[in-house]
A = this chain, B = another copy of it.
Amino acid sequence: MGKTTAGRFFEDYRLGEVIDHAVPRTVSGGERALYHALYPARHALASSDDFARVCGLPASPMDDLITFHVVFGKTVPDISLNAVANLGYAEARWLRPVYAGDTLCSSSKVIGLKQNSSGKNGVVWVRTTGMNQHGQAVLEYVRWVMVKKRDPKAPAPETEIPELADVVPADQVVIPEGLDFTGYDFTLAGEPHRLGDYTVGERIDHVDGVTIEEAEHMMATRLWQNTAKVHFDVTARPDGKRLMYGGHIISLARALSFNGLANAQMIVGLNAGAHANPCFAGDTVRAWSEVLDVAKTDAPGVGLIRLRTVATKGAAFELRGEDGKYLPDVLLDIDYWAVMPV
């Protein structure tokens, strides 16, 4: 292979090691426009400079998931090129909005390692931080993936499983500086429901469905400079199918949740996330949500809502079978904090 990188294998990771990921990326109105073309995204704060200014921000920030995808995309060549499975997310916090003109890069610290009993692969936990051009952190999250070993006979590292919070505590969520919902315009935002209108346990069927094309998920995945072969190359899997980047479903579910959660303006924390089943072109994706919690913040008029949003090819509100496993139609199950006017 010579100059070409085959990516890291399980035995290449060292506990405590910090990996600076390549290819910084400047984002612009182009990324925002493409985001709107690829997903039915309508949350007003990420759509309108004026709406954002009324809410105390200098301009409309990039959708929080643009930040996530760009930061995540950079980690792929170092973390998940040889991943067998993307196992989970935890302790994600958005620390600062990203605006057109900002340049993002990311780095990851290896915080856990556990070789599987088969000896053929192992689980790697990393804490990834995304930074802007001023060296300010914009996002951090923990992700763990199962990675192949190059050589099954390579010695197993000492097992270290990090302790991770089930939920980012509401008082550790970071509200963007200046965010102020006291002048919030519910008509422009699209729905009248404020935080007090939601009750814990309430479930919302977001109704709309989107049938996905190959060109769409590939354009999205490339836009984030995510290079994992399985998304692009029909020869990469025995079934000749291109596996959709899991983040594509996260963005689709979030955008579909507008209908019922139009005022959940920004995602500020991701407590957990599971890609329950793979998604392929031709699938029609729907979403439903459940209110898990609500909380106060110190920012004027700004509350927090904790949501589970599920993307599915099947019926709303169905999640797990009698065996406790995700039903085959369920694609995604995420648990997150969003800001909402009180």
The reply to whether B30 and A207 contact each other, CB–CB distance below 8 Å, is no
Interface contact A229-B209, CB-CB below 8 Å: yes
Q: Bits for A18-62, please: 1 = Cβ < 8 Å to B, else 0.
A: 001011111111111110111111111001111100000000100
**For residue A234, which residues in chain B have a CB less than 8 angstroms away from its CB?**
211, 284
Check if A105 is an interface residue, CB within 8 A of chain B. yes
Residue A110 is within 8 A (CB to CB) of chain B in the complex = no
Of A8-16, A85-93, A259-267, A327-335, which binds chain B?
A259-267
B260 touches A3 (CB 8 A): yes
Taking CB atoms, residues of chain B closer than 8 Å to A188 are 20, 22-24, 105
| Chain B residues within an 8 Å CB radius of A207 | 1, 4, 6
- Of the A-B pairs whose beta carbons lie under 8 Å apart in the complex, a sample of 20, sorted by A's number, is A3-B197, A4-B260, A22-B44, A22-B189, A22-B191, A23-B42, A23-B48, A24-B50, A36-B223, A42-B225, A47-B225, A208-B227, A209-B235, A210-B233, A213-B214, A214-B215, A216-B218, A216-B219, A234-B284, A235-B284
A65 interface contact, C-beta 8 A: no
Q: Could you tell me which residues of chain A, from 237 to 262, have a CB within 8 Å of some CB in chain B? A: 242, 259-262
Residues 161-180 of chain A: 1 if any B CB is under 8 Å from the residue's CB, otherwise 0?
00000000000000000000
Shortest A35–chain B CB gap in Å is 9
Q: Which of A6, A51, A77 has the most CB of B within 10 A?
A: A51
A222 proximal to B (CB < 8 A): yes
Residues of A within 8 A of B (CB): 1-6, 20, 22-34, 36-44, 47-51, 60, 77, 100-101, 103, 105, 133, 187-191, 193, 197-198, 202-211, 213-216, 218-220, 222-223, 225, 227, 229, 232-236, 242, 259-262, 284
A210-B227 Cα distance, complex, nearest whole Å: 10
- Name the 7 nearest CB pairs between A and B, nearest first: A28-B29, A30-B33, A22-B190, A24-B48, A215-B215, A209-B233, A30-B30
CB distance from A235 to the nearest CB of B (A): 6
The answer to whether B77 and A190 have CB atoms under 8 Å apart is yes
A50–B133 CB distance below 8 A? yes
A205 to B48, CA, bound (A): 40
Given A48-B26, A209-B235, are A204 and B36 neighbors across the interface (CB < 8 Å)? no
Contact yes or no, B210 A213, CB < 8 A: no
CA distance A20 to B44 in the complex (A): 14
A44-B30 in contact given A5-B191, A222-B36 (Cβ < 8 Å): no
By beta carbon, the residue of chain B nearest A225 is B42
Residues in B whose Cβ lies below 8 Å from that of A77:
190
Judging by beta carbons under 8 Å apart, are A191 and B3 in contact? yes
Task: Give min CB distance, A94 to chain B, whole Å.
Answer: 21
Residue of B nearest to A36 (CB): B223
Decide if B20 touches A204 in the complex (CB within 8 Å): no
- CB-based nearest B residue for A52: B26
